[in-house]
Structure 1
Protein backbone atom coordinates (compact mmCIF):
# COMPACT_ATOMS: atom_id res chain seq x y z
CA UNK A 1 0.00 0.00 0.00
CA UNK A 2 0.99 3.63 -0.15
CA UNK A 3 1.45 3.59 3.64
CA UNK A 4 3.88 0.67 3.35
CA UNK A 5 5.86 2.50 0.67
CA UNK A 6 5.99 5.74 2.65
CA UNK A 7 7.04 3.91 5.83
CA UNK A 8 9.76 1.95 4.00
CA UNK A 9 11.12 5.19 2.54
CA UNK A 10 11.07 6.96 5.91
CA UNK A 11 8.54 9.58 4.81
CA UNK A 12 6.87 10.24 8.15
CA UNK A 13 4.89 13.26 6.97
CA UNK A 14 3.41 11.25 4.11
CA UNK A 15 2.56 8.46 6.57
CA UNK A 16 0.84 10.98 8.83
CA UNK A 17 -1.23 12.32 5.93
CA UNK A 18 -2.19 8.81 4.79
CA UNK A 19 -3.23 7.84 8.32
CA UNK A 20 -5.32 11.01 8.60
CA UNK A 21 -7.03 10.01 5.36
CA UNK A 22 -7.94 6.57 6.72
CA UNK A 23 -5.02 4.29 5.87
CA UNK A 24 -4.96 1.34 8.26
CA UNK A 25 -1.83 1.00 10.34
CA UNK A 26 -2.38 -2.72 10.92
CA UNK A 27 -2.75 -3.81 7.27
CA UNK A 28 -0.22 -6.38 6.08
CA UNK A 29 1.16 -6.70 2.55
CA UNK A 30 1.53 -9.96 0.62
CA UNK A 31 4.67 -10.82 2.63
CA UNK A 32 2.87 -10.21 5.91
CA UNK A 33 4.75 -6.98 6.60
CA UNK A 34 2.87 -4.15 8.27
CA UNK A 35 3.80 -0.50 7.78
CA UNK A 36 5.69 -0.80 11.08
CA UNK A 37 7.80 -3.64 9.64
CA UNK A 38 8.69 -1.32 6.77
CA UNK A 39 9.47 1.57 9.11
CA UNK A 40 11.78 -0.75 11.07
CA UNK A 41 13.56 -1.46 7.78
CA UNK A 42 14.00 2.27 7.10
CA UNK A 43 15.03 3.02 10.66
CA UNK A 44 13.21 6.36 10.59
CA UNK A 45 12.43 7.02 14.24
CA UNK A 46 9.68 9.58 13.66
CA UNK A 47 7.83 7.18 11.37
CA UNK A 48 8.24 4.32 13.83
CA UNK A 49 6.88 6.43 16.69
CA UNK A 50 3.99 7.67 14.55
CA UNK A 51 2.96 4.13 13.62
CA UNK A 52 3.29 2.91 17.20
CA UNK A 53 1.18 5.75 18.57
CA UNK A 54 -1.56 5.79 15.93
CA UNK A 55 -4.75 4.09 17.10
CA UNK A 56 -6.01 0.95 15.39
CA UNK A 57 -9.17 0.99 13.26
CA UNK A 58 -11.24 0.13 16.34
CA UNK A 59 -9.71 3.06 18.25
CA UNK A 60 -7.54 0.92 20.50
CA UNK A 61 -3.91 1.65 21.24
CA UNK A 62 -1.87 -1.43 20.50
CA UNK A 63 1.85 -0.59 20.40
CA UNK A 64 2.96 -3.79 22.22
CA UNK A 65 0.72 -5.90 19.99
CA UNK A 66 2.08 -4.21 16.85
CA UNK A 67 5.58 -4.99 18.04
CA UNK A 68 4.63 -8.70 18.22
CA UNK A 69 3.03 -8.89 14.76
CA UNK A 70 4.89 -11.36 12.53
CA UNK A 71 5.39 -11.42 8.79
CA UNK A 72 5.38 -14.62 6.71
CA UNK A 73 8.99 -15.33 7.75
CA UNK A 74 7.95 -15.17 11.39
CA UNK A 75 9.80 -11.91 11.89
CA UNK A 76 8.63 -9.25 14.30
CA UNK A 77 9.46 -5.60 13.71
CA UNK A 78 12.44 -6.03 16.04
CA UNK A 79 13.80 -8.82 13.82
CA UNK A 80 13.62 -6.43 10.84
CA UNK A 81 15.32 -3.57 12.66
CA UNK A 82 18.04 -5.92 13.95
CA UNK A 83 18.61 -7.42 10.50
CA UNK A 84 19.18 -4.01 8.92
CA UNK A 85 21.34 -2.69 11.77
CA UNK A 86 18.91 -0.07 13.03
CA UNK A 87 20.09 0.25 16.65
CA UNK A 88 18.11 3.40 17.45
CA UNK A 89 14.99 1.83 15.99
CA UNK A 90 15.57 -1.24 18.16
CA UNK A 91 15.72 0.98 21.25
CA UNK A 92 12.43 2.69 20.38
CA UNK A 93 10.75 -0.65 19.68
CA UNK A 94 12.01 -2.08 22.97
CA UNK A 95 10.62 0.96 24.80
CA UNK A 96 7.23 0.11 23.31
CA UNK A 97 7.25 -3.53 24.33
CA UNK A 98 8.94 -5.32 21.44
CA UNK A 99 9.85 -8.85 22.55
CA UNK A 100 13.55 -9.71 22.43
CA UNK A 101 13.08 -13.46 22.90
CA UNK A 102 10.75 -14.17 19.97
CA UNK A 103 12.15 -16.52 17.30
CA UNK A 104 11.47 -16.30 13.58
CA UNK A 105 10.67 -19.36 11.44
CA UNK A 106 14.40 -20.17 11.29
CA UNK A 107 14.58 -20.18 15.09
CA UNK A 108 16.53 -16.91 15.31
CA UNK A 109 15.95 -14.14 17.83
CA UNK A 110 16.67 -10.51 16.96
CA UNK A 111 19.86 -10.78 19.02
CA UNK A 112 21.07 -13.79 17.03
CA UNK A 113 20.36 -11.98 13.78
CA UNK A 114 22.28 -8.91 14.93
CA UNK A 115 25.24 -11.10 15.90
CA UNK A 116 25.18 -12.98 12.57
CA UNK A 117 25.22 -9.68 10.68
CA UNK A 118 27.93 -8.12 12.88
CA UNK A 119 25.73 -5.23 14.04
CA UNK A 120 27.49 -4.62 17.37
CA UNK A 121 25.49 -1.46 18.10
CA UNK A 122 22.26 -3.46 17.73
CA UNK A 123 23.64 -6.22 19.95
CA UNK A 124 24.40 -3.59 22.60
CA UNK A 125 20.89 -2.12 22.29
CA UNK A 126 19.25 -5.53 22.63
CA UNK A 127 21.30 -6.49 25.67
CA UNK A 128 20.47 -3.36 27.67
Structure 2
Protein backbone atom coordinates (compact mmCIF):
# COMPACT_ATOMS: atom_id res chain seq x y z
CA UNK A 1 0.00 0.00 0.00
CA UNK A 2 2.82 2.42 0.81
CA UNK A 3 4.34 1.96 -2.65
CA UNK A 4 1.04 2.95 -4.26
CA UNK A 5 0.65 6.03 -2.06
CA UNK A 6 4.24 7.21 -2.55
CA UNK A 7 3.42 7.84 -6.22
CA UNK A 8 0.93 10.54 -5.19
CA UNK A 9 2.56 13.90 -5.90
CA UNK A 10 1.36 15.53 -2.68
CA UNK A 11 2.45 12.57 -0.54
CA UNK A 12 5.90 11.78 -1.91
CA UNK A 13 7.84 14.33 0.22
CA UNK A 14 5.99 13.22 3.36
CA UNK A 15 6.45 9.52 2.61
CA UNK A 16 10.17 9.95 1.91
CA UNK A 17 10.93 12.02 5.03
CA UNK A 18 8.69 9.91 7.28
CA UNK A 19 10.29 6.69 6.05
CA UNK A 20 13.77 8.12 6.79
CA UNK A 21 12.70 9.33 10.23
CA UNK A 22 11.12 6.00 11.20
CA UNK A 23 14.04 3.96 9.83
CA UNK A 24 16.55 6.06 11.80
CA UNK A 25 14.48 5.67 14.99
CA UNK A 26 14.12 1.93 14.54
CA UNK A 27 17.86 1.47 13.90
CA UNK A 28 18.73 3.43 17.01
CA UNK A 29 16.06 2.30 19.47
CA UNK A 30 14.15 -0.76 18.29
CA UNK A 31 16.91 -3.28 17.76
CA UNK A 32 15.72 -6.85 17.70
CA UNK A 33 14.32 -7.00 21.23
CA UNK A 34 10.66 -6.51 20.33
CA UNK A 35 8.40 -5.38 17.53
CA UNK A 36 6.73 -3.19 20.16
CA UNK A 37 9.82 -0.97 20.25
CA UNK A 38 9.46 -0.10 16.56
CA UNK A 39 7.76 2.92 15.07
CA UNK A 40 5.63 2.46 11.97
CA UNK A 41 3.90 4.56 9.38
CA UNK A 42 0.10 4.37 9.69
CA UNK A 43 -2.68 4.89 7.20
CA UNK A 44 -4.36 7.44 9.50
CA UNK A 45 -1.19 9.50 9.85
CA UNK A 46 -0.59 9.34 6.12
CA UNK A 47 -4.19 10.39 5.43
CA UNK A 48 -3.82 13.40 7.76
CA UNK A 49 -0.57 14.38 6.03
CA UNK A 50 -2.23 14.06 2.62
CA UNK A 51 -5.17 16.26 3.63
CA UNK A 52 -2.79 18.86 5.06
CA UNK A 53 -0.88 19.03 1.76
CA UNK A 54 -4.09 18.99 -0.27
CA UNK A 55 -5.30 22.06 1.64
CA UNK A 56 -1.89 23.76 1.36
CA UNK A 57 -2.16 23.47 -2.41
CA UNK A 58 -5.86 24.33 -2.66
CA UNK A 59 -6.31 27.64 -4.54
CA UNK A 60 -9.30 28.73 -2.42
CA UNK A 61 -7.75 28.12 1.02
CA UNK A 62 -5.95 30.98 2.78
CA UNK A 63 -2.34 30.06 3.45
CA UNK A 64 -1.70 33.02 5.77
CA UNK A 65 -4.19 31.82 8.38
CA UNK A 66 -4.49 28.74 10.59
CA UNK A 67 -4.64 25.51 8.62
CA UNK A 68 -4.59 22.13 10.33
CA UNK A 69 -5.86 18.60 10.04
CA UNK A 70 -6.05 16.90 13.39
CA UNK A 71 -7.16 13.70 14.95
CA UNK A 72 -9.70 14.03 17.75
CA UNK A 73 -10.33 11.56 20.57
CA UNK A 74 -11.71 8.23 19.35
CA UNK A 75 -15.23 7.34 20.42
CA UNK A 76 -17.87 4.70 19.71
CA UNK A 77 -18.35 6.14 16.22
CA UNK A 78 -14.69 5.94 15.21
CA UNK A 79 -11.74 8.30 14.97
CA UNK A 80 -12.85 11.83 14.06
CA UNK A 81 -10.60 13.89 11.80
CA UNK A 82 -11.04 17.66 12.00
CA UNK A 83 -10.20 19.96 9.09
CA UNK A 84 -9.59 23.53 10.22
CA UNK A 85 -8.85 26.19 7.62
CA UNK A 86 -10.12 29.43 6.12
CA UNK A 87 -11.36 30.10 2.61
CA UNK A 88 -10.30 33.13 0.59
CA UNK A 89 -13.88 34.38 0.41
CA UNK A 90 -16.57 35.52 2.81
CA UNK A 91 -19.36 35.07 0.26
CA UNK A 92 -21.50 32.39 1.88
CA UNK A 93 -22.49 30.51 -1.29
CA UNK A 94 -18.85 30.40 -2.46
CA UNK A 95 -17.72 29.21 0.98
CA UNK A 96 -20.30 26.40 0.96
CA UNK A 97 -19.16 25.35 -2.52
CA UNK A 98 -15.50 25.25 -1.46
CA UNK A 99 -16.35 23.25 1.66
CA UNK A 100 -18.45 20.80 -0.36
CA UNK A 101 -15.65 20.34 -2.92
CA UNK A 102 -13.14 19.59 -0.17
CA UNK A 103 -15.40 16.99 1.42
CA UNK A 104 -16.25 15.48 -1.97
CA UNK A 105 -12.51 14.98 -2.42
CA UNK A 106 -12.14 13.47 1.07
CA UNK A 107 -14.97 11.01 0.37
CA UNK A 108 -13.44 10.12 -3.00
CA UNK A 109 -9.92 9.38 -1.72
CA UNK A 110 -10.40 7.98 1.80
CA UNK A 111 -10.54 4.34 0.65
CA UNK A 112 -7.12 4.74 -1.02
CA UNK A 113 -5.75 4.95 2.52
CA UNK A 114 -7.53 1.81 3.72
CA UNK A 115 -10.00 3.90 5.72
CA UNK A 116 -13.77 4.26 5.68
CA UNK A 117 -16.20 7.06 6.42
CA UNK A 118 -18.64 6.19 9.21
CA UNK A 119 -22.15 7.49 9.59
CA UNK A 120 -24.59 6.33 12.24
CA UNK A 121 -27.51 4.46 10.65
CA UNK A 122 -30.80 6.32 10.37
CA UNK A 123 -34.35 5.03 10.46
CA UNK A 124 -34.29 4.81 6.65
CA UNK A 125 -31.21 2.57 6.76
CA UNK A 126 -32.88 0.24 9.23
CA UNK A 127 -36.11 0.11 7.19
CA UNK A 128 -34.12 -0.69 4.05
CA UNK A 129 -32.26 -3.46 5.85
CA UNK A 130 -35.48 -4.89 7.27
CA UNK A 131 -37.05 -4.74 3.80
CA UNK A 132 -34.11 -6.63 2.31
CA UNK A 133 -34.56 -9.45 4.82
CA UNK A 134 -38.34 -9.67 4.36
CA UNK A 135 -38.09 -10.39 0.62
**Larger proportion of strand:** 2
> TM over 0.5, yes or no?
no
> So what's the TM-score if we normalise by structure 1?
0.26
Instruction: Give the structure with higher Rg (CA).
Output: 2
